[in-house]
Structure 1
Amino acid sequence: MHRTWLEPVRNRLAESRLTLDELVSRSGYSKTRLSELLRGKGYYPSWEITYSVIRALEIPVAPLRRLWMAAAMEAAKDSAWIKSGIEDVHPLDPEDQPVAHLGFTQAMRPPYTVYAQAFLQSRERARQVVGETFDILWLNWAEATRSEDTPRYAWELLRRMVVARAPKRPDGRPDLRAAAFSTAVQAEIPDLADRLARIDTLARFFDDIAGLSPDQRDVLVLRYLCGVRQDAVPGILGLSPAVTHTLDHHARGALDQLRPDTDAQE
């Protein structure tokens, strides 16, 4: 997820139809420096040059600064360097978060976070990915609201962010086996041998879920790993209840031979 903040910058530059020469004039940096920044190659850009570009493009600063900081840490930049770069730039003026975006994030933060945690097995990492998703969504809010279904646009963004960070099986599937250790049902089994057997069964079940189509996988993860109510799943996924029911039905059919008693997991 290195330099996740670059995509919104490139998108805004394309929308603005500014030439590189015009961006040079507005930002005060050379064409060479700006070309390196926009390509995402070579050195990791300072916040000062990044800030000059996003201000020139009239991009909301607060969400992009958070994304820049997260990517800098992921790129192993020294925390003192990050802090110094932020402090060298004039403090941010207050920015108005779109009211609709604020309402959406407040509603979706809990289910998005439990979904991310099912894949990442860490509450902290899940919160970070969800926060980055909402920041990218803010930067692309105009595009999101122009799409046919804003919740669907947001969900597909979250899924890309989560799956990119999730551990992988050799065939490229997300590895959900570790989720077997965090289910409530196995923790309540007093006998160690029975508990280990149950974990093994659940691990194989979750591994099979990971092999389903993305939409089928998402329905089952939300329902049986995250415990989300059945009637809430369509709104989270941005799909109709009928489509969600069909996905659930087909996914259950595909797993019928290997599926354990999922009722105990709800």
Structure 2
Amino acid sequence: MTTPFEPPPIPVPPARHAVARPGRKLGPIAADVGSAHRAWLEPMRAQYRMSGLTLSELSVRVCLAKSKISELLRGIGLYPRWEIVLGISRELDLPDWPLYRLWKQAAFEAHKSRDWVEGCSEKTALTTAQPEAPIDHRAFRELVADAYQHYAEVFLDLEQSDTAVSDTFDILWLRWHDALASPDTRRFAWDVLRTTVMTRTPHLDGRPEFRHAAFDTVALRSLASESERLDQIAESLELFTAMSRLADTQLDLMVLRRLCGLSQKNTSALMGIALATVRSSERHAEHFLQGILCPPPETEGNPA
């Protein structure tokens, strides 16, 4: 039987492979590029690699120096104006609207003023009516959006989680062909969501910090007395601190199972992993947490 999170059958295009091109290989994204900037830059770089175009050919098409295009695709130098990004994106056949939303958000992250952003936008010919995403993308979004939101809210406040989920679907729109051509669209999408959420989540010693969620759990809301609530908060804080030490997949499925209330079957469908993997990973996660929260008592050595 189909679970609520399984997307409808959709035609899968043939897998795309990066096209070999002459000339120097495109360098990596600069280390200081922010998460919002990276959100649209990585799909643009992926599309460039698939396009078969060289930097020289792209330079001629958009009337921009090859060195400037290289810098833009690496996130080096000043944050690029929208008309330049749009010109390159149209040669690479990327959809305008999700790219613009991500570009705009990253512009504010780069401390650009609203006047600067609006000034860039006024010089381009975006359609006045926002186009719709592909129908299979919209169907997929309708199926998983609520669960994605619940997951994001464990790690982020309401405004940040809204932005993270919205960005996830914009990135998926930009990379929808790659999502469909991947071994599992659901897994591809989940990886995008997780990356988008985790780049916004505070980390402590390399582990995601989400103890604030202890103050808004189902168990806590069901308690009436103040003392019971305080005990539950302390218990939840200890649990969430231990959960942050889990491996990525184990953490995600424990969040979905324990904090979002999903069944094993729905967790499997949402994350795009086998049901057997969910069961096995959950057992290992529970064993790990048990060892931290309820360690076995130390035994005294026998006297000599």
1:82-111 CA distances to partner (integer Å, 9 max, x unpaired)? 122112211227645222111111111110
Counterparts of 1:74 and 1:60, CA distance in 2: 22
Query: In structure 1, what is the equivalent of residue 89 of structure 2?
Result: 54
Counterparts of 2:198 and 2:44, CA distance in 1: 23
Query: In structure 2, what is the equivalent of residue 127 of structure 1?
Result: 162
Cα drift, residue 240 of structure 1: 1.8
Match status 1:28 vs 2:63: yes
Match status 1:250 vs 2:294: no
**CA 1:95 to 1:191, structure 2 compared with 1: closer, same or farther past 3 Å?**
closer
Superposed counterparts of 1:152-171, under 5 Å? 152-169=187-204, 171=205
Equivalent in 178, 182, 186 of residue 212 of structure 2: 178
Cα drift, residue 257 of structure 1: 4.6
Amino acid at match of 1:83: E
Per chain length, whose mean CA-contact separation is higher, i.e. which structure has more relative contact order (CA < 8 Å, sep 6+)? Answer: 2
Query: In structure 1, what is the equivalent of residue 22 of structure 2?
Result: none
The structure with the largest alpha-carbon Rg is 2
Equivalent in 70, 74, 78 of residue 43 of structure 1: 78
Higher helix share: 1
**CA 1:166 to 1:198, structure 2 compared with 1: closer, same or farther past 3 Å?**
same
Match status 1:107 vs 2:143: yes
Equivalent in 246, 251, 255 of residue 221 of structure 1: 255
Counterparts of 2:150 and 2:130, CA distance in 1: 30
Counterparts of 1:64 and 1:48, CA distance in 2: 12
Cα drift, residue 194 of structure 1: 3.5
Cα drift, residue 259 of structure 1: 5.6
Counterparts of 1:178 and 1:126, CA distance in 2: 14
**CA 1:259 to 1:109, structure 2 compared with 1: closer, same or farther past 3 Å?**
farther
Query: In structure 1, what is the equivalent of residue 275 of structure 2?
Result: 241
Amino acid at match of 1:53: I
Q: Larger deviation: 48-57 or 88-97?
A: 88-97
Cα drift, residue 54 of structure 1: 0.4
Q: Larger deviation: 43-52 or 93-102?
A: 93-102
Amino acid at match of 1:91: L
Matched-pair contact (CA < 8 Å) for 1:212–1:251: yes
Counterparts of 2:280 and 2:133, CA distance in 1: 36
Sequence identity (%): 38
Counterparts of 2:182 and 2:293, CA distance in 1: 36
Amino acid at match of 2:154: A
Match status 1:85 vs 2:129: no
Matched-pair contact (CA < 8 Å) for 2:264–2:279: no
Matched-pair contact (CA < 8 Å) for 1:179–1:225: no
Cα drift, residue 187 of structure 1: 3.7
Task: Give the TM-score normalised by structure 1.
Answer: 0.91
**CA 1:239 to 1:119, structure 2 compared with 1: closer, same or farther past 3 Å?**
same
Superposed counterparts of 1:56-75, under 5 Å? 56-75=91-110
1:123-144 CA distances to partner (integer Å, 9 max, x unpaired)? 2211111111111111111111
Amino acid at match of 2:213: A
Counterparts of 1:24 and 1:94, CA distance in 2: 29
Task: List gaps (5 residues or longer) in structure 2.
Answer: 1-34, 295-304
Match status 1:141 vs 2:176: yes
Match status 1:17 vs 2:59: no
Amino acid at match of 1:246: S
Amino acid at match of 1:88: K
- How well do the aligned residues superpose, as a CA RMSD in angstroms? 1.8
What secondary structure, in the 3-state scheme, does the structure 2 residue paired with 1:43 have?
A: coil
Counterparts of 1:258 and 1:189, CA distance in 2: 26
Cα drift, residue 190 of structure 1: 3.9
Cα drift, residue 229 of structure 1: 3.4
Matched-pair contact (CA < 8 Å) for 1:144–1:154: yes
Cα drift, residue 258 of structure 1: 5.2
Match status 1:118 vs 2:118: no
Counterparts of 2:70 and 2:182, CA distance in 1: 30
Counterparts of 1:25 and 1:82, CA distance in 2: 26
